Structure 1
Amino acid sequence: MDRLTLLLAILYVYTAPCEEIFWDTTVKLAKNMTLACVYPLADTVTQTEWFKIKTERESMAIFNPAYHGIVREAYVDRVYFSNHTMTSHDMTLSFHNASEVDVGFYSCFLHTFPHGTWQKVIRVVPPDNFEDAGPPNSQMVSEPGKNVTLTCEPRENLLLEEVSWEKIQPQQTDLLISCNVSQGRSYTSKYPRQILSNCNKDMKKAFVTIPNVIGSDSGLYRCGFKASPGEKETFVIRLTVTDGETKNTYIPFVAGGAVLLLLLVLITTITVITYKRRKRQQKRGLFKDFWITQNRATNNYRNPFPPNPPSGGAGEDIYVNHPVFCLGPRARV
């Protein structure tokens, strides 16, 4: 081996461990945690393997749609594929009783047809090292199906070096896009949703566009700037995508209210008509009873006594002529 080859070999040994690792998602360590890995394209996934990245890649588990999956001995009873029975594109790996030894980098490595290999890198950090988004600087509300554009701009006219967009969730942070402004190159992460963004040398502000937003796109989005003097700025935007049920439920609610009001008016009208009919019938009944009573009273008034009442003498009782409906006492004359 000549000196140049030996020098290159030594240089490789010392620089390889310091190779920078780019990760797509940061997950907060938890006893029961999930490392999401969803292939976003329509290719056929022929095989998936999970690795833990150390000085070398350590195989953890492997899954093949035809032969199902196996878990390596060091991870038996600790990890399992969560959603492989639903779709072969979802190779999410879940941990049971995770601990500090599970902090580090993980790789979800897929073999697909016809596009070949695809890899997503996930970083697991202790809870104290997980960065929360903080309070949002602005808010945006959108209906489902719209194309939403989130925009942010540094407060000062800085010479930008890097720009990044992230989606912040309680247990994980997903990198959407990272832009090297000086080179005009961008790194698009393995986020399962399509994201459009600008990345060029002359950019003064950054934006990302999420086409056809859905409810799961709601959340906090963080825009980060890194400037040449070493300055950093971050902006947080809260996006709320309505579920689309408010308007749809409002219409039947109003229609239902109108129907109830119509029924109420109809019931009230029927009640009033019935009440008036009963009043008329009662009046007619009273009038008829009064007429019969008057008729009987008149007849009795005309013949209250026998045709030839006895003439009264001294000491005899004589009836006073009273109507039949006025029961007065007898009077002596």
Structure 2
Amino acid sequence: MAYFTLLLAVLHVHKAWCEVTFWDTAVQLSETMTLECVYPMMDNLTQVEWTKISGTETVKIIVYIPNYRMYIDPNYLHRVHFLNSSVGLHNMSLSFYNASEADIGTYSCLFNTFPNGLWEKKIKVVQSDSFEIAASSNGYLSAEPGQNVTLNCQLPRNWPVQQVMWEKVQPHQVDILASCNLSQGTRYTSKYLRTTWSKCSQESLQSVIIPNAMATDSGLYRCQSEASTGEKETFVVRLIITDGRTNKHFILPIAGGSVSLLLVILIIIIIIFYNRRRRRQVRTPLKEPRDKQSKVATNCRSPTSPIHSIDDEKEDIYVNYPTFSRRPKPRF
């Protein structure tokens, strides 16, 4: 009986630990990192608390109450700040100056509002490389601005899936969009800036909908699923919203490849033409001496002088001289 009681206590502690360490967003550690926390409703803000969770202990970093002086923990003084435009606009994102490894951990952003009460977002800061490096794309989906985009997780047929989680993967952070666990009957409420639709049922467990897609929705989306047998599958799709600015990233490589291909073909044609012309120039000097010799031989012959044959040379040649009368010289 005592052993059973101890086991229940351990399970209770494990459950509490999992609840404490669950996160909505993972952020890459950097010196000037920003932890996003934006309340989506238009309720009246009564208080905001930023805390760091270390095991079972919590350290209050900032407590903000409208119209009152803001409290900042001395260890975080001059190291964290809110943007001036954020205060009073339900955007209480926390920016860090000169963050270090000591700032790795889980943070909680807690809104006290009226009349809906508490709203909390948990952010995990990790020391990692770009998150996109580990998320290679399996395919892509193209859509136009304003459309409702449905992302489907491509899994093997008749796979006994019981849990699916959708995430948006950016170089510096990962945001959970939707999560459903059929075995436990739990569904995650997204704290992501954009509203997404999803249903926690066997029929629609593998899909998530992004309504009224915008250019900022372009990027990598990852689906992580787990079967009742314990097997796990990951599917990553790149969403492309085809407006002018976003489409450049995909049109330019294609156009650049086409231009490069044309340039290579042009260079090959020029090389072939040049080689042919060079061969002709090499052959021409060899023919010129023969032509010149024939021309010289032809030019040496007078057009009025006949060409003598061998028989003609044997004939006698007669020359006629005029005869003059001989007179005696006069004597004086």
- TM-score scaled by length of structure 1: 0.65
SS in 1 for 2:216: helix
What is aligned with 1:152?
153
| Offset at residue 192 of structure 1 (A) | 1.8
Distance 1:83 1:119, change over 3 A: farther
Q: Structure 1 residue 59 and structure 2 residue 63: aligned?
A: no
Would the aligned equivalents of 2:198 and 2:204 in 1 still touch at CA under 8 Å? Answer: no
Would the aligned equivalents of 1:25 and 1:123 in 2 still touch at CA under 8 Å? Answer: yes
SS in 2 for 1:127: coil
Deviations 1:287-320 (A, max 9, x none): xxxxxxxxxxxxxxxxxxxxxxxxxxxxxxxxxx
| Offset at residue 33 of structure 1 (A) | 0.6
Distance 1:106 1:208, change over 3 A: same
Q: Which letter maps to 1:30? A: S
Q: Which letter maps to 1:243? A: D
Would the aligned equivalents of 2:26 and 2:174 in 1 still touch at CA under 8 Å? Answer: yes
Q: Structure 1 residue 224 and structure 2 residue 224: aligned?
A: yes
CA distance in 2, matches of 1:52, 1:25: 14
What is aligned with 1:243?
243
What is aligned with 1:120?
121
What is aligned with 2:101?
100
| Offset at residue 239 of structure 1 (A) | 0.9
Distance 1:10 1:141, change over 3 A: closer
Listed as ranges, the matches of 1:91-240 within 5 Å are 91-127=92-128, 132-200=133-201, 202-203=202-203, 206-240=206-240
CA distance in 2, matches of 1:221, 1:164: 10
Q: Which letter maps to 2:154? A: E
Distance 1:132 1:64, change over 3 A: farther
Deviations 1:12-47 (A, max 9, x none): 995577344321000111111110001111212222
Would the aligned equivalents of 2:167 and 2:222 in 1 still touch at CA under 8 Å? Answer: yes
Listed as ranges, the matches of 1:20-35 within 5 Å are 20=19, 21-35=21-35
SS in 1 for 2:91: coil
Deviations 1:221-252 (A, max 9, x none): 00111112321111111112233689xxxxxx
| Offset at residue 65 of structure 1 (A) | 2.7
| Offset at residue 158 of structure 1 (A) | 2.1
Would the aligned equivalents of 1:151 and 1:205 in 2 still touch at CA under 8 Å? Answer: no
Stretch moving more, 15-24 or 183-192: 15-24
Q: Which letter maps to 1:177? A: A
CA distance in 2, matches of 1:17, 1:216: 36
Percentage of matched positions with identical amino acids: 49
Would the aligned equivalents of 1:102 and 1:124 in 2 still touch at CA under 8 Å? Answer: yes
Number of positions where the alignment pairs a residue of Structure 1 with one of Structure 2: 242
Stretches of structure 1 that go unaligned for 5 or more consecutive residues are 247-333
Would the aligned equivalents of 1:140 and 1:237 in 2 still touch at CA under 8 Å? Answer: yes
| Offset at residue 167 of structure 1 (A) | 0.2
Listed as ranges, the matches of 1:228-307 within 5 Å are 228-243=228-243
Would the aligned equivalents of 2:108 and 2:123 in 1 still touch at CA under 8 Å? Answer: yes
Would the aligned equivalents of 1:25 and 1:175 in 2 still touch at CA under 8 Å? Answer: yes
What is aligned with 2:291?
none
SS in 2 for 1:235: strand
CA distance in 2, matches of 1:87, 1:173: 26
Distance 1:87 1:228, change over 3 A: same
What is aligned with 1:39?
39
Deviations 1:190-215 (A, max 9, x none): 11211111212x34861111111111
Distance 1:240 1:10, change over 3 A: closer
What is aligned with 1:69?
70
- TM-score scaled by length of structure 2: 0.65
